[in-house]
Amino acid sequence: MQFKILATSALVATMIAGCASQEKPDDMAAQKAPEPAPAKAAPAKPKLQMGATDSMLANTCAGCHGTNGNSHGPSAPTIAGLEADYLLETMQAYKSGNRSGTIMGRIVKGYTDGELEQIANFYSKQSFQGWTQAAVGPKAKQGQMLHEDFCEKCHEDGGTSIEDVPLAGQWMPYVEWTTADYLNGMNHPEKDMKKAMDKLAKAHPELSNATVAHSLSHFYGSRSADGYKRVPGRLK
């Protein structure tokens, strides 16, 4: 377990500000440490993951995503309470490159499919806590208009539904970057969402992708105080 945290944080500490790395970034030796030097009677590489429980595995994500998946800063999204299927598919999309990310692609490569499943189970059982954020009225208004025309169909109730991926209550910068990645064709979502993004771009040639993503994030952010809908029975 430990070597994953070491290797990961050494790799990304310079890339992600605000994530609580548990190890010193200058501990670069950690990257090489896990491979035991080939000795004569080389013992088998220790299987560090053997028998790891869901929560032990999930602990390796906590430095960035928060102990129970409610992250404490906008550099990593909250992953608590999202559907297990969604979590698993998203991690696999990072693995295959269907979803762009600064670091998740590298992180998920360190886990087997079975381990990712365990981790997805763990986080799906935690409860999502929407954050109250400083959304700006006029931007939120433009975002609301765009949302209603192009997103509400799937991200119901103004993006507050946990049945879908919650967008309200999620960190605004994350929602903004991710939406921009979809608009710019860097993420490869299911077909219908791609259609919605294309339709939006066609209907609003006057708005840049960056402006669209920015206003939408303010709309979702404006809903985080009161808009998040908890579905009884779904969350702990």
Judged by the rule CB under 6 A, the positions of this chain that interact with ligand HEC are 8, 12, 16, 19, 60-61, 63-65, 75-77, 79, 87, 90-91, 101-104, 107, 119, 150-151, 153-155, 165, 167, 170, 175, 178-179, 187, 189-190, 192-193, 196-197, 200, 216
Nearer to ligand HEC, 33 or 98 (CB): 98
Structure tokens at 90: 């998203």
Nearer to ligand HEC, 134 or 147 (CB): 147
Please check whether residue 218 is in contact with residue 135, taking contact to mean a CB–CB distance below 8 angstroms: yes
**Angle at Cα 187 formed by Cα 183 and Cα 215, nearest 5°?**
35
Find, among 229, 76, 88, the residue nearest to 164 by Cα. 229
Closest approach, Cβ 106 to ligand HEC, in A, equals 8
Structure tokens at 61: 């994500």
Name the residue whose CB lies closest to ligand HEC.
101
- CA–CA distance from 143 to each of 4, 149, 157, 176, 201 (Å)? 39, 10, 14, 11, 14
Find, among 8, 127, 125, 130, the residue nearest to 64 by Cα. 8
Closest approach, Cβ 39 to ligand HEC, in A, equals 31
Closest approach, Cβ 123 to ligand HEC, in A, equals 6
Closest approach, Cβ 75 to ligand HEC, in A, equals 6
Nearer to ligand HEC, 33 or 173 (CB): 173
Nearer to ligand HEC, 30 or 76 (CB): 76
- CA–CA distance from 68 to each of 2, 4, 16, 45 (Å)? 19, 19, 20, 31
**Angle at Cα 121 formed by Cα 96 and Cα 112, nearest 5°?**
40
Closest approach, Cβ 129 to ligand HEC, in A, equals 14
| Alpha-carbon span 59 to 1, nearest angstrom | 9
Nearer to ligand HEC, 40 or 202 (CB): 202
Nearer to ligand HEC, 136 or 203 (CB): 203
Closest approach, Cβ 43 to ligand HEC, in A, equals 27
